Amino acid sequence: MKLHVKAPAKINLTLDVLHKRSDGYHELEMVMTTVDLADRLELTLLEEDRIIVHSESRFVPSGERNLAYQAADMLKRELNIRKGVEISIEKHIPVAAGLAGGSSDAAAVLRGLNKLWNLRLSLHELAEIGAKIGSDVPFCVYGGTALAKGRGEIITPLPPPPSCWVILAKLPIGVSTAEVYENLSLDKIEHPNTEIMVEAIKNNDYFTMCQNVGNVLENVTLMRYPEVADIKEDMLRFGADAALMSGSGPTVYALARHDSRMHRIYNGLRGFCRQVYAVRILGKGEEWGDS
């Protein structure tokens, strides 16, 4: 028995850090949404008690270090399952890019195995198990658009944001999320207004959404890699309605409402950045296209 699962990338419309916690994590408030750039996973049921993960991408770790492996393993241990699975990952989301690619693969495995192993767990239960793998996994279990709090695992679903193009640009730099959080100066933060962003989404107000994107991790990564700041500047010069870094970076994205503006930004960036993608916001959860 085989199952195909889609694992979409996420972008941060906002990312705010409130304080550093005693467990070493940062208390967050952020608005995230999934976009139509996705990995594809094939899950094959194994009767033997074994997890196999492979991918043709040379950037993805094999075996136990892969978050998809960790998701299957966590589910087996939590529920004492004796079945196995072979997971094949077709990687499309750039790795270590701020787009939660690994977390989304893990979430897709949780959703997929819920069906393949006939577990009947709710999304809430899958998200709770996902939180033990990584902070972004619970959001990826739900997909769509959400306000995330805590270390990222407390999820409040939101309606889809106003429809628009998202042009993503990823320079060939791999960023360590832990290092970015470590280098954040909490006293120098300019906080985005999460409440206004949530209202803008609820009111389907594209321009208020564009005016209020903000990510406090941006300064850390942009200071370290000025070439990422240059790409963001270029996006605005080519006519983006908004431009922002996603997660801990280095991917930056531009928002554009009209096709002509999207083409101008996409073609302008393609001249000097190899990994550029023009995609739509997926917005709604449960649009994974699993089969």
Ligand X SMILES: C[C@](O)(CO)[C@H](O)COP(=O)(O)OP(=O)(O)OC[C@H]1O[C@@H](n2ccc(N)nc2=O)[C@H](O)[C@@H]1O
- Report if residue 6 touches ligand X, rule: CB under 6 A: no
Tokens representing residue 118 in the block: 């006939």
**One of 15, 28, 102, 129 touching ligand ATP (CB under 6 A):** 102
Burial tier of 23 (Cβ tally within 10 Å: 0-12, 13-18, 19+) = exposed
Contacts (Cβ under 8 Å, ≥6 apart) of 174:
95, 96, 97
Shortest CB 184 distance to ligand X, Å: 9
Torsion of Cα atoms, 286 then 58 then 99 then 50, to 10°: 40
145 binds, among ligand X, ligand ATP, none (CB under 5 to 8 A by kind): none
Residues linked to residue 147 through DSSP beta bridges, in sequence order: 31, 156
DSSP secondary structure of 10-76: EEEEEEEEEEE-TTS-EEEEEEEEEEEEEEEEEEEEESSS-EEEEES-TTSPPGGGSHHHHHHHHHH
Q: Which stretch binds ligand ATP (CB under 6 A): 14-22, 91-99, 161-169, 237-245?
A: 91-99
Token pair belonging to 139: 């959001």
Residue range at the interface with ligand X (CB under 6 A); choices 78-86, 154-162, 167-175, 177-185: 177-185
Q: Is 102 annotated as a binding residue?
A: yes
Q: Is 28 in the site for ligand X (CB under 6 A)?
A: yes
Residue 152 in marked binding region: no
Q: Based on the shown chain and the rule CB under 6 A, indicate whether residue 88 belongs to the binding site for ligand ATP.
A: no
Closest CA to 127 of 169, 93, 157, 172: 157
User: Looking at the chain, which runs of residues are DSSP E strands?
Assistant: 2-20, 26-46, 51-55, 84-90, 145-150, 154-158, 165-170, 214-215, 242-245, 252-256, 275-280
**How many residues line the site for ligand ATP (CB under 6 A)?**
21
Asked if residue 248 binds ligand X (CB under 6 A), the reply is yes
φ and ψ of 40, to 5 deg? -120, 130
The answer to whether 97 is a known ligand-binding residue is yes
Q: Which is nearer to ligand X, 247 or 268 (CB)?
A: 247
Query: Which one of residues 16, 136, 234, 241 is an interface residue with ligand X (CB under 6 A)?
Result: 136
Task: Choose one: 57-65, 195-203, 214-222, 225-233; the region binding ligand ATP (CB under 6 A).
Answer: 57-65
218 binds ligand ATP (CB under 6 A): no
Q: Does 55 bind ligand X (CB under 6 A)?
A: no
Q: Does 140 bind ligand X (CB under 6 A)?
A: no
Binding site for ligand X (CB under 6 A): 12, 15, 25-26, 28, 100, 103, 134-136, 151-152, 177-178, 181, 247-248
Q: Which residues are annotated as a binding site?
A: 94-104
Q: Which residues are annotated as a binding site for ATP?
A: 94-104
